Structure 1
Amino acid sequence: MCGGQGNGMADADQKKTPPDKSFPASATTRIPFAIALAMLAGCADSIGFLEFSQLFMSFMSGNTTRFGVAVANADWENVTRVASTIIVFCFGAFLGTLIAAWVGRWRLSILLTIQAVLMGIGLFMPWGTFAFPLHAYPIVLALGLQNAILQDEQGRSIALTYVTGAVVRFGTGLANLMLGTVAPSFWLQAPLWGGLSTGAVIGGVLQIRYGENAFLFPAALAALLALVAVVLTVARPGSTLVAGSSPPPDAGSHAKPSDAIH
């Protein structure tokens, strides 16, 4: 009898405690982190674009277009330069996703710390050659890794380093709003675009004034976000502020979880 009651209490406690999905289920942290990270990406991309002769640090659609143009012109040095950047970015997303799976509820803290460190390392890397811009690779790796920070339990992530998806969702969302079928995620698209574009303006201004040292700003922002994540993870263990069964990553504040807690 007591054993049955004990098992019942344990089951009740298990149901009360959100599973460790390592993704902020609460919009209180998910949305501000997403906007801040979009601003970080826009800032770093703008600095890199000016610093590395129009090479994108996070906008791989732009780099893919440049790759195609370089191939068409048989500009093999530029082909190597852009292709290697895309590969490094892809590897960052790959590596970040594996790290996130390994570290559980410390995902936000550890990935943001690694991102801050990589951006700092970029300032001390050798410049390399035009075809292999070693100096840019740590920044590109950090921004690729950033895309794994706000994934949900099914591997879907917010578009934190590019803006096309946000613009498309905002446009289609406006139409759906008129039709009365708008998704909750519609309301996050404009702030994401605003964060990324604001970061791009800040990055441009900083690069013009400080050159490559401007990368210290997005590095410091990543470090600050990492500190906030550490405090939340330590102070609120098991809280939906850092983990839990979550809605789709770009959902609005009132969206329901995508998976039932089990």
Structure 2
Amino acid sequence: MKDYRRRDVALAVSLSGVAGYVDAIGFLKLGGFFVSFMSGNSTRLGVGIATGHWTMVRTGLTLIGLFVAGVVLGALVARKVGEGRRSVVLALEAALLTAAAALISAGLDAAGVAAMVLAMGAENAVFQRNGDVGVGLTYMTGALVKAGQRIAAALTGGDRWAWGPYALLWAGLSLGGALGATAYLRVGVLALWAAAGLIAILAAAKAWRERRAV
């Protein structure tokens, strides 16, 4: 993340926080499955296959397929409008989260959860570069590995603080998860509206900056 400005790092940390927030809501609603952490769902899929719990297998496969579809959707939108126009991908994510909140509020849980997963997949296109993910926003294993590598470099004479942005990404997701779980336990699915609103605000702010930069 050394190539990103502080403003971009702040946006990335905020989006990781939203991912943790939404994932915690999904985890509680789905009884142990995730809407953004596909490594966890993949492990549950494997366990389901080994133990013959085919409902677990179907759920895992469905969530993983939806997440990949969201990644494809976000990547296509980023390619279409230009990868520098992050506001458009953010607007897509906001629309999907709004749809998720509205659908679940209307009792259409399956469709609402699908929209949540699509939104989390699409979020990873916000920092897309040359068709690849520039910053992973919904999963933290890679960020923790990079933080550890940068700490090792710092201990051997390298940049003392290069690990900081990766640690912040992890902290953002963890704090977001705590906030999401707390909000869901207090107000249920209404908690999703806060995530949709925050992403919409970030999209509007980013669009304003992009217009000024033209």
One-letter code aligned to 1:79: V
The 5 A counterparts of 1:37-116 are 37-104=15-82, 107-116=85-94
Report whether the alignment pairs 1:221 with 2:198.
yes
User: 1:79 & 1:105 partners in 2: Cα distance?
Assistant: 35
Report whether the alignment pairs 1:168 with 2:145.
yes
One-letter code aligned to 1:115: E
Q: Quick one: percent identity of the two aligned structures?
A: 33
Paired residue total: 210
Query: What residue ranges of structure 2 are gaps of 5+ in the alignment?
Result: none
Q: 2:102 aligns with which of 121, 124, 132?
A: 124
User: 1:95 & 1:107 partners in 2: Cα distance?
Assistant: 15
Q: Which has the larger radius of gyration?
A: 1
User: 1:106 & 1:172 partners in 2: Cα distance?
Assistant: 29
Offset of 1:182 from its aligned partner? 4.8
User: 2:131 & 2:188 partners in 1: Cα distance?
Assistant: 40
User: 1:56 & 1:184 partners in 2: Cα distance?
Assistant: 32
Contact 2:83-2:128 within 8 A present in 1 as well = no
Normalised TM-score (structure 2): 0.91
The 5 A counterparts of 1:241-260 are none
Contact 2:128-2:134 within 8 A present in 1 as well = yes
Normalised TM-score (structure 1): 0.75
- Residue 125 of structure 1 aligns to a residue in which SS? helix
Across the aligned residues of Structure 1 and Structure 2, the Cα RMSD in angstroms comes to: 2.0
Query: What residue ranges of structure 1 are gaps of 5+ in the alignment?
Result: 1-24, 238-262
* Counterpart in the other structure of 2:157: 180
Contact 2:89-2:126 within 8 A present in 1 as well = yes
Contact 1:105-1:233 within 8 A present in 2 as well = no
Q: Which 4+ residue blocks in structure 1 deviate beyond 6 angstroms?
A: none
Report whether the alignment pairs 1:192 with 2:164.
no
The 5 A counterparts of 1:4-43 are 27-43=5-21
* Counterpart in the other structure of 2:178: 201
Aligned in 2, Cα 1:75/1:26: closer, same or farther, shift over 3 Å?
closer
